[in-house]
Structure 1
Amino acid sequence: MTQHHSDHGYEKDDDEDDVLEWADQVMATVAAEVRRRRKELRWSAQDLADKCEEIGHPIPRNVIANMESGRRSNLPLVDVMVLAEALNTPPICLIYPVGYVDDVQRLPLQHPISTLDALSWFTGEDTELGADNDMLRYFRAHRAAEGQLRIARRDEEYARYHAETAPNADRKAEALRAQARAAEAAEDAMRRLSRVRAFIRKDGVTPPFLWSDVAAEVDPPGTDPNTTEEIDL
């Protein structure tokens, strides 16, 4: 196998070339997206540098220019986070610019995949990640159940109002049916919240904060936090 001298003074084989090339590609993708987004905002490199300084993590103009031109040899994660905030875009969209890059190499020695698939892997949405992502799934399920509860309660109040102000019996009956459906959806969301929070506590983790009018119903006194009831997420 052909070997090459690296800048760090050790011998490396062809596989390591692939690793370096992949790292360069990741950095080039971020740099290109920073430049594209900056141009879209009609900002100069100095404008972007000024915005980074406002955020509290200065990135000088020459550093930004060197990054965009490929002359910068590294790109710290903290810089990616601050650049994303300055450019009003999620950090993940600098690494995986969906819609602007078709395919990316997720990891070295792997074939390119769609940018959206790579983004889903990075954010833990990939269903093939295995059991180690349970806590992430539980917190996402918790947020989804909270959203369902808010919508259901809003719909229930809306339907109650229309039942009380209905101009005739048919309209009132229709509104009462809608109110009953919303109340059922709210109850389902409450049950899901209770189960998800139990699973979170089971692993010794504190569940997300709940507003007071819901917490008493979801976490009533005497609730067993160590339930092993199955939950469909």
Structure 2
Amino acid sequence: MTQRRSDHGYREETEADDLEWEDHVMATVAGEVRRRRKELRWSAQDLADRCEEIGYPIPRNVIANMESGRRAVLPLVEVMVLAKALRMSPISLIYPVGYVDKVRQLPYEDPQPAWDALQWFTGDESAEDATDYMLDHFLAHDLELRSALAAVESEDYERWKVRTAPNRVQREAAERALTRYADQAADAKYELGRHRDAIREAGGTPPRLPSPLADIDPPDTELTEEIDF
């Protein structure tokens, strides 16, 4: 693969092996910082000022050296602060999908589509050799949480329609819908509780539940988890 220096690190024109993997990663981040900064019509000093406002100063000359490839290191904390200052997600600096076609995900690996690398990094696509499934539990928990909230909200709405129906026909229709959504809410709560149990069994602490779903956990669960933590 060949690459050439651009706003996004290196394009295909020189041998990619000429770049060490860590240099390739830093060049990609630096290129996206430069692209986004120009998009916002900011100078390097403007970006430095915003980093200082966040509480982690990154001087203008450091930003300039990073963008030009003269800087040897790029700490993770700076990626986080730069992303906040540039009003974007940190992952979009590391894997700028839409602006870079392929990236080198790890040393000695062929370039991969940026979208695939991003999904690997965020855990949306499990690594083949993964043995820690806590993130999977949390992703499943989030999906079931959304389903449970939607079902509970629909159940509450249909219950209101039953109370306020102006005639028998509309009331009976609302009662049928209420039964349907009540069943969906019960199923969703059961699944959510199952994922919360899986998180606990794996040694983790599940997220705090919103008040409409607070009845899923036993009454003393939250206190026990706080003491254990």
- TM-score above 0.5: yes
Q: Is the 8 A contact 2:149 2:213 kept in 1?
A: no
Q: Are the structure 2 counterparts of residues 166 and 130 from structure 1 closer, same or farther at C-alpha, using a change threshold of 3 Å?
A: farther
Partner of 2:225: none
Partner of 1:146: 145
Residue type at the aligned position of 1:52: C
How far is the alpha carbon of 1:175 from its aligned partner? 2.4
Partner of 1:186: 185
Partner of 2:131: 132
Partner of 1:53: 52
How far is the alpha carbon of 1:204 from its aligned partner? 2.4
Per-residue CA deviation, residues 110-146 of structure 1 (Å, 9 max, x unaligned), is: 1111111000111112134345231111112222222
How far is the alpha carbon of 1:147 from its aligned partner? 1.6
Q: Is the 8 A contact 1:142 1:197 kept in 2?
A: yes
Per-residue CA deviation, residues 52-92 of structure 1 (Å, 9 max, x unaligned), is: 00111100011111111111111111100100011111100
How far is the alpha carbon of 1:19 from its aligned partner? 9.0
Residue type at the aligned position of 1:49: A
Q: Are the structure 2 counterparts of residues 19 and 199 from structure 1 closer, same or farther at C-alpha, using a change threshold of 3 Å?
A: farther
TM-score using structure 2 length: 0.81
Partner of 2:5: none
Matches of 1:171 and 1:143 in 2, distance apart? 34
Partner of 1:162: 161
* Secondary structure in structure 2 of the residue aligned to 1:133: coil
Partner of 2:203: 204
TM-score using structure 1 length: 0.80
Partner of 2:109: 110
Q: Are the structure 2 counterparts of residues 220 and 193 from structure 1 closer, same or farther at C-alpha, using a change threshold of 3 Å?
A: farther
Matches of 1:55 and 1:94 in 2, distance apart? 18
Matches of 2:182 and 2:17 in 1, distance apart? 57
Per-residue CA deviation, residues 29-54 of structure 1 (Å, 9 max, x unaligned), is: 11111111111111111111011001
Matches of 1:148 and 1:158 in 2, distance apart? 15
- 79-88 vs 165-174, which moves further: 165-174
Matches of 1:210 and 1:153 in 2, distance apart? 13
Q: Are the structure 2 counterparts of residues 213 and 125 from structure 1 closer, same or farther at C-alpha, using a change threshold of 3 Å?
A: closer
Alignment root-mean-square deviation, CA: 2.3
Matches of 2:108 and 2:44 in 1, distance apart? 34
Q: Are the structure 2 counterparts of residues 168 and 77 from structure 1 closer, same or farther at C-alpha, using a change threshold of 3 Å?
A: same
Residue type at the aligned position of 2:207: P
Residue type at the aligned position of 1:46: Q
Q: Are the structure 2 counterparts of residues 191 and 220 from structure 1 closer, same or farther at C-alpha, using a change threshold of 3 Å?
A: farther
The percent identity for this pair of structures is 57
Q: Is the 8 A contact 1:19 1:108 kept in 2?
A: no
Residue pairs, 1:1-233, within 5 angstroms: 18=17, 20-211=19-210, 214-219=213-218
How far is the alpha carbon of 1:149 from its aligned partner? 1.6
Per-residue CA deviation, residues 130-168 of structure 1 (Å, 9 max, x unaligned), is: 452311111122222222121111111222222333344
Q: Are the structure 2 counterparts of residues 170 and 212 from structure 1 closer, same or farther at C-alpha, using a change threshold of 3 Å?
A: closer
Q: Is the 8 A contact 1:51 1:86 kept in 2?
A: yes
Q: Are the structure 2 counterparts of residues 30 and 63 from structure 1 closer, same or farther at C-alpha, using a change threshold of 3 Å?
A: same
How far is the alpha carbon of 1:170 from its aligned partner? 3.4
Matches of 2:75 and 2:39 in 1, distance apart? 24
Deviating 4+ runs (over 6 angstroms)? none
Matches of 2:131 and 2:73 in 1, distance apart? 30
